[in-house]
């Protein structure tokens, strides 16, 4: 939790410093962007298989290099694991609401690395069953929510000099405030975006 708090403060400081430089920058040719994305979502420890995540985001360009964005994404997951003679099966859904910043290093180039980070909220619904030699347990519609923090790197590729479309690949980690373990989920996504 201490590491989560320090990381949240660092991300907040970077966002405040970035917003402070907006007044001194030139305005971009297109003020907004929308993206639709899909990719791989890996939950916590490596014992769980990766699942498909998909969603969309809307961004406001504060200057050519700094984009404030909000997004919505979802993933479905399932799995089984055994411990001694007990077998646990589960399946569920997760929905993420995010707000963050994307920093484009070279906004005038066709290809540019990016840094992304921000805060979010996760809602999860899980069904689980446990089969053991003496007792079986079924739990339906177990729900939970949590504050999340995410950060990572990406690569933005413009699809032509005068083209408003672009590809945006991202790889980042997501930390959960309410999770008892110190593990983080990972996402690898590719987006098709449009500036307007």
Give the torsion sign (CA, 89, 95, 99, 104). Answer: positive
Q: What is the DSSP secondary structure assignment for residue 130, as one 8-state letter?
A: E
- Whole-number average pLDDT of the chain: 85
Q: Is the pLDDT of residue 19 over 60?
A: no
Q: Cβ distance 122 to 148 under 8 Å?
A: yes
Q: Cβ distance 90 to 127 under 8 Å?
A: yes
**Has domain 2-195 been given CATH number 3.30.230.10?**
no
- The angle subtended at Cα 167 by Cα 165 and Cα 170, nearest 5°, is 145
Res. 171 pLDDT band, cuts 50 70 90? very high
pTM for this entry: 0.79
**In the chain, % of residues over pLDDT 70:** 85
């Amino acid at each position: 939790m201490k590491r989560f708090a320090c990381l949240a403060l660092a991300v907040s400081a970077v966002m405040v410093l970035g917003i402070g430089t907006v007044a001194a920058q030139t305005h971009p040719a297109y003020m907004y962007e929308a993206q639709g994305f899909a990719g791989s979502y890996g939950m916590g420890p490596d014992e769980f298989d990766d699942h498909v995540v998909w969603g969309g985001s809307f961004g406001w360009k504060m200057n050519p290099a700094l984009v404030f964005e909000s997004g919505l994404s979802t993933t479905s997951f399932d799995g089984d694991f055994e411990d001694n003679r007990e077998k646990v099966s589960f399946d569920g859904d997760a929905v993420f609401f995010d707000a963050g910043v994307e920093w484009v290093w070279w906004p005038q180039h066709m290809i540019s690395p990016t840094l992304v980070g921000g805060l979010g909220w996760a809602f999860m619904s899980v069904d689980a069953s446990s089969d053991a030699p003496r007792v079986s347990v079924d739990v339906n519609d177990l729900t939970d929510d949590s504050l999340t923090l995410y950060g990572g790197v990406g690569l933005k590729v413009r699809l032509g000099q005068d083209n408003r479309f672009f590809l945006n690949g991202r790889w980042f980690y997501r930390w959960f405030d309410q999770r008892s373990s110190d593990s983080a989920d990972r996402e690898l996504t590719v987006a098709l975006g449009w500036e307007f």
